[in-house]
Structure 1
């Protein structure tokens, strides 16, 4: 990227957008960071387009002036994806928040990128349908596609990759393309939809999505179950999956995380032992059968203190507590800042991975509760450090690095769902080898001037 003329770009953008282009410090501050532990960087301005055509015009102006462009949803990403580390224009899609079309017969919906997952499900309530990808945060669907989000329902329903049929995308020169159709399969050309999912704004800006929907299950049952050890909890999950038990959610929380859960949710009062949080979907008889089958499996591994929830309000309370695990972890050490990271390994290696990680945590003298989407082999650490203690920060970074190395050793990945951003870039070469150069070639072909979220995912000099 040659030297950008950002001031000229801002002048033209002001003419295009009027007061929907902001250079105010408070607005720029809101777009200078996400939920990651990363140094904030202000954009030079924030654009609030209303339509795909406006996004295209914004990008064309920025392309003419070699001005960086960074898409922004609601800022819930966890690896610094939306931080404009090279400055430029933050393109906030929050005004593009319409559900354009729901097709109940075909189980899909067409939405703008600023629609949040809770908003979509609220609009679907009367149809008997639901959108299933649930990363915890009420993220925008555009951001969820850009980061290839997943979450607690993934073990049954899949990630954004499996639940996005088609996209509309504005490329680095302002060209608008459509990838995919509403058909459930296609053999027509390269799969550009999957290429854009997980590209984190480095190849284009997503301006419309066609997503899969599912029927709301007739019956839902949720439960918590305590185990003597992490090994026992994980091994019960492995056996349940190998037995073909169709679980909708299955989450692991270690004993330290459970201590935080009880602290943050005083009415929870669960044993401070490793726990599984589970949910089953299906018919009344099917769910009852699944519950009994899992109870038998859990009993083999010392599962105890089953607490079942079938009422909607009880289930919601349970999963709200799980989604607040970040804040529960923070309650373990007042004033601490968490460095949050994740890896994903084959499920057969999960118990080994978590045990080795817990040993590394103890050796480093750090506090880091473990939470995992164990049905996927994906787990997270919240490493609680004193933000003013440089020695703790260095140890936390070493711990995260050893976690990534271990995941690759076990034939896994350095990130199951948080994405790359800036935090995981250093490990991509180890994971992908020569394939990283293929990614760089794609980036260079689609964004030759490197204006789309520069400094992320792929380093182009």
Structure 2
């Protein structure tokens, strides 16, 4: 597995296609002020949370407010063979939103209506610009909630496009399991529907699963039908400190293998606890810790918690602290979700090179402990968090973006980690998606035959290669 050169990663080679003035004129005629060529707007839509810092912005930004808007914009772009990059809230970590081949950014954040709540069937249909927090706020009066929680208040369109998951995946699954149906604008500007609100179907190819995780390379999602769940009768959260990362991981493995239906179990290493304490004004013990949450009836939550506490104690876990009230739980989970920003602020001016490996739960300790040893030996500052209940964890290597040496070190660590995860039967990305950063890893993981099949699908559905080109693989 050959690592890309630091210069190629910091300044990815761009092959922008020309955007004819006639297309810009046509977009302005159709959208008026909702088509912007202002530099500040284009720059805002030409970056994300990844470490890429030197990619030219799109030629224009179109703000869609309906499916008809999306179809019109894509049809015009298709007529001129110009790339279209869907944009939600800009929280991508893998360069998904960057206009490396030029084109227009299609902002769907104004498509933020909840279209239907079918409480009896436990489904909801939303536009792609609805964020997960907005959805939960608007349906909480029904006694239902949407559990997929990637940390950022991401748009549900972006979450579907990257097949996101997050802290609750160990119990509720990922976007793959929770998207039932879609409305999609194809590369030609046609509007199609995939799937239904029924919980299962054997009707033809599973186009919904094809679109979920396609990262905007096959079409633009304009409606999404999701599973929702009853709010648990009782919720309890706990933190437990451990003498070592290994002890915390061994506890997690035993919890999962015993079949305890824990809702969340997050690993935070001592470096990250220190950063979180400083950022969120907490006083957590600066040792590796597990942050856990239990859902169910009061009796089942109590039983789960007692069993988990017993397991943790066997591995040296101590200082169990409980958070039962919503305010206490929110405070803990907000601190966890702010870990990325806490780490960034710990080294002013830095960028984070994030990893996203996921391995079978039985191999979690093997993969994680060797990777920690390599990171410690490198001397590079880092943070470590993990949705360890499903074998997924993230290193964030903190680098000076002006230092090719630091970038090379981070990329070396990342490549060693991915190689290790693949050898153990895992994947290069558990939830962030491939984007630009993991294209070489995908080839190693899936093999040339599988990637060629993906290319065949892409060429068939997007013959002009206008849908977010240069992501997942090259044509």
Q: Shorter-normalised TM-score: what interval?
A: over 0.9
Q: Name the TM-score, length of structure 2 as normaliser.
A: 0.95
**Counterpart of 1:238 in 2: which secondary structure?**
helix
- Partner Cα separation in structure 2 for residue 379 and residue 164 of structure 1: 23
- Contact between 1:102 and 1:108, CA under 8 Å: does it hold in 2? yes
- Partner Cα separation in structure 2 for residue 286 and residue 408 of structure 1: 37
Match of 1:421 in 2: 435
Match of 1:255 in 2: 270
Q: Name the TM-score, length of structure 1 as normaliser.
A: 0.98
Match of 2:231 in 1: 216
- Contact between 2:42 and 2:60, CA under 8 Å: does it hold in 1? yes
Q: Does the alignment pair 1:402 with 2:392? A: no
Deviates more, 1:200-209 or 1:237-246: 237-246
Deviation at 1:276, TM superposition (A): 0.2
Deviates more, 1:82-91 or 1:333-342: 333-342
Match of 1:238 in 2: 253
- Partner Cα separation in structure 1 for residue 127 and residue 349 of structure 2: 38
- Contact between 1:6 and 1:88, CA under 8 Å: does it hold in 2? no
Q: 1:291 aligns with which of 297, 305, 323?
A: 305
Q: Does the alignment pair 1:103 with 2:103? A: no
**Counterpart of 2:309 in 1: which secondary structure?**
helix
| Distance of aligned partners of 1:91 and 1:306 in 2 relative to their CA distance in 1, 3 Å threshold | same
TM-superposition CA deviations, 1:346-372 (whole Å, max 9, x none): 111111111111111123221112100
- Contact between 1:263 and 1:331, CA under 8 Å: does it hold in 2? no
Q: 2:333 aligns with which of 295, 319, 324?
A: 319
- Partner Cα separation in structure 1 for residue 317 and residue 159 of structure 2: 35
- Partner Cα separation in structure 1 for residue 400 and residue 19 of structure 2: 40
- Contact between 1:74 and 1:94, CA under 8 Å: does it hold in 2? yes
Q: 2:294 aligns with which of 257, 280, 303?
A: 280
Match of 1:191 in 2: 206
- Contact between 2:16 and 2:103, CA under 8 Å: does it hold in 1? no
Deviation at 1:98, TM superposition (A): 0.4
Match of 2:471 in 1: 456
Unaligned runs of 5+ in 1: none
- Contact between 1:74 and 1:140, CA under 8 Å: does it hold in 2? yes
TM-superposition CA deviations, 1:344-397 (whole Å, max 9, x none): 111111111111111111232211121000011000011111222221111111
**Counterpart of 2:432 in 1: which secondary structure?**
coil
- Contact between 1:227 and 1:304, CA under 8 Å: does it hold in 2? yes
**Counterpart of 1:326 in 2: which secondary structure?**
helix
Deviation at 1:4, TM superposition (A): 4.9
**Counterpart of 1:200 in 2: which secondary structure?**
coil
Unaligned runs of 5+ in 2: 1-14
| Distance of aligned partners of 1:127 and 1:35 in 2 relative to their CA distance in 1, 3 Å threshold | same
Match of 1:264 in 2: 279
- Partner Cα separation in structure 1 for residue 49 and residue 19 of structure 2: 30
Deviation at 1:334, TM superposition (A): 3.5
Match of 1:370 in 2: 384
- Partner Cα separation in structure 1 for residue 56 and residue 140 of structure 2: 39
Deviates more, 1:221-230 or 1:327-336: 327-336
Q: Does the alignment pair 1:57 with 2:50? A: no
Deviation at 1:175, TM superposition (A): 1.0
- Contact between 2:60 and 2:105, CA under 8 Å: does it hold in 1? yes
- Contact between 2:115 and 2:127, CA under 8 Å: does it hold in 1? yes
RMSD value, Cα: 1.3
Q: Does the alignment pair 1:229 with 2:237? A: no
- Partner Cα separation in structure 2 for residue 106 and residue 82 of structure 1: 34
Aligned ranges for residues 57-136 of structure 1 at < 5 Å?
A: 57-136=72-151
**Counterpart of 2:109 in 1: which secondary structure?**
coil
